[in-house]
Structure 1
Amino acid sequence: MSNEKNNEAASVAHRLTDEQIMLAGMNHFRRAQTPEAALSYIASVRECLTLAAAAAPAPFQPRVQPWMLECFGAEIAADVEERNHRFLEEALELVQACDCTRSEAHQLVDYVFDRPAGEKRQEVGGVMVTLAALCLAQSLDMHEAGEIELTRIWTKVDQIRAKQAAKPKHSPLPMHTGRDPAAGNTTPISANSAEITPGTLPYPTEPTDALLDVLGLMLYTTTPIAHALRAAGTDIPKRCEEEQAHVLHWLIQLTLQHGAEWRARAAKSIEELQAATRKPDWRGESDALEQGDEL
């Protein structure tokens, strides 16, 4: 076997990306009777690798991006704050479905945020490993579940677009999409709950749908609202449970006064508070009170 042929065969073998295949090719090269036989073998291996790569599905992460862009466009899809909130929402919904309690979730929030922030790449790895471990403990297939969900949300693009379009700009509260257009002429209630006359808001013996919506808000949903109220001068302690209690107290009063219009009233009040105190927009919190299919 000539040096030129030897070098050519070795070069082809070394360009193989899979180390085990490369070693197998080199071993065959050493046993081959002719350089042509060795090159033919390596070419066959490369062809098999190419066919296998073409048949394999693309990685999951890049297949999510076209859906994101289709639903929201590049700006919202790349909004880091909103991605944080949506990921946290879905993570909480998963552990809630696995019987984690509200109290446990609150304690873990305090535990995590009392420590220094981690390194993003390592934390992603931790999420992947612990998600796999959770799925093993729950007898779930994380890959199958991901494929099923990605297929499902592709059928919801129009609904998600409409839902996103109905949200107000720069507000932690979504606008109530079914509200009476005439309600837009009413004066928004002040964020100062002290201005509501005591004794005028009887609490119903049976919970209404609007009250159930408010009482079911998650802790992370109420936190940005507490920040907005505090920035406007409302005295709210910074402990997360107390933030939640103050926000729910305010929203319940809005609900008792205005029923299903509480979202619109609260959103308008917070927009006015932000404008009056010259605080930056609460970008990324526009879906803080909604749960749905959008990511």
Structure 2
Amino acid sequence: MTLGELLRSGREQLVAAGIASPALDAAVLLCHAAGVRREVLMGYPEREVEAAAAGNYLSFIRRRVAREPVSRIVGRREFWGLEFGVTGHVLDPRADTETLVEAALAWLRDRPACRVVDLGTGSGCILLSLLHERPRDEGLGVDVSAAALDVARANAAALGLESRASFVLGNWSAGLPAAFADLVVSNPPYIPRADIEGLEPEVTLYDPMGALDGGRDGLDAYRALAADVKRVLKPGGGLFFEIGMGQQEPVAALLKDAGAILVRPFTDLAGRVRCLGAFFDEPGARAPF
């Protein structure tokens, strides 16, 4: 079969399955299977594809029809303009989480070399994106999953950041020294348990449950993090969390109960509060934001 024939077949199957972006998904999967760039796919539809590559592509289409995300099929996801390997052991990075990276970088601006700690690091996309932008910083990623840490280490190596990024097995900040970090970031599980069943199959079937389940009200991880983060931060340090819909006030209250003197919301491109930044120092310290 030719590139054009395969592309048309895949697109038709995805349309019939109700996939939201059939043309794009079919093209990405065909480029991956055939080992060609998008320009070749569009410019030379008559090019024949070897049987093995065509068979791989059709199997990819079947997996996508079953609602497996494209990123899981090809094994990578773009985030912050960088490419990250992903497996079933880590949360698939979402563009919305770039709000957290952007907010943290704004806070870091003009600050000297810092130590960044990413709690629940998963693929390492948040930590490694920050280190990529801040070549003098070093970072530590913590995760309860050894398999997730393997993915994060591989991503650090692929991005040339392994000399400045370390990863350790741990339960949030437990075991970290006091006054250890200039900046703590986290995208913890925040979906209320009862809501998970109603999410898209791409999420419920393929993201690890431990990266989704925030407990009965979605706030379990925030309670654990808020209880200890002030101890872990250096004087003048900052904290940035991703949060879910409607969680701004309860998470801000947890942070203030833990000693935060300032909690600031940050919105995504849709105007939704996606991230909270918190500052724990006494009044009169350097302006935190």
TM-score interval for Structure 1 and Structure 2 normalised by the shorter chain? under 0.3
**TM-score for the superposition, normalised by structure 2:** 0.28
Q: Which has the larger radius of gyration?
A: 1
Specify which structure has the higher proportion of helix.
1
**TM-score for the superposition, normalised by structure 1:** 0.27
Q: Which has the bigger relative contact order, CA under 8 A and spacing at least 6?
A: 1
Specify which structure has the higher proportion of strand.
2
